[in-house]
Amino acid sequence: MFYLVRAELTLSLSPKEYASQGALTKEKVLGLLRARYEDRVLRDVGYVVAVIDCRVLHGRWIPLDPNLYLRVLATLLVWRPEVGEVVEGRISNVGQTSVYVDLGVLEALCPVSRLVQDTLRYDAVNRVLRGIKTKIVIKKDDLVRARVESAELQMERVLPESGPRLPAISIEPKFSYRVRLSARGPGLGVLTAKKSG
């Protein structure tokens, strides 16, 4: 589901960034926020689709740190998957055990067993699923209407677990959603699947 959210964000600017910007106008700060936060998942907010507006609250330098830190109140358009929500998307990849559905903001997984009320066989040559009883063919770019069964927020691994010791650096964690769909139920299913002759 889409939400408009007002969030206080801290924008860290290196000396190169704030020196090359000249005067930090609202448009420039908005551009920096868009470059840094759009198409990312923020843990307590959701998937940031767009940064719509901003207002700089204050800026500060920390002793012995060359960066400039701006505290910004931003208006964000975010997407958060809600369990039970009905979504529509196109199939982006067909596999033997599952299909991936492109929801626009991310790809969600739909197991083959939760796709239709039929036994499906995978055709590896054509990369399609064929229904045994119904004779439908499910392929890439078919439209699917499904219900969100589960949505988990995961932190992606940033550094490999083994390897040489690296110097101490600050790493911002990256998050992503793992969404699982079910297309079984009234009004749900593959909307554009065709029957084979």
Given this model, what pLDDT does residue 197 score?
59
pTM of the prediction? 0.75
Res 163: pLDDT: 53
Structure tokens given for 14: 């290196």
Every domain of the chain and the residues it spans: 2-79, 86-160+173-195
- The CATH code that applies to domain 86-160+173-195 is 2.40.50.140
Helix H, strand E, coil C: the string for the chain is CEEEEEEEEEEEECHHHHHHCCCCCHHHHHHHHHHHHCCEEECCCEEEEEEEEEEEEEEEECCCCCCEEEEEEEEEEEECCCCCCEEEEEEEEECCCEEEEECCCCEEEEEHHHCCCCCEEEECCCCEEEECCCCEEECCCCEEEEEEEEEEEEEECCCCCCCCCCCCCCCCCEEEEEEEEECCCCCCEECCCEECC
Question: For the domain 2-79, what is the CATH superfamily, name and number?
Answer: RNA polymerase Rpb7-like, N-terminal domain (3.30.1490.120)
pLDDT mean values, one per 10 residues, the chain (197 residues): 90 78 78 90 88 89 85 92 93 92 91 89 90 90 93 70 51 77 90 75
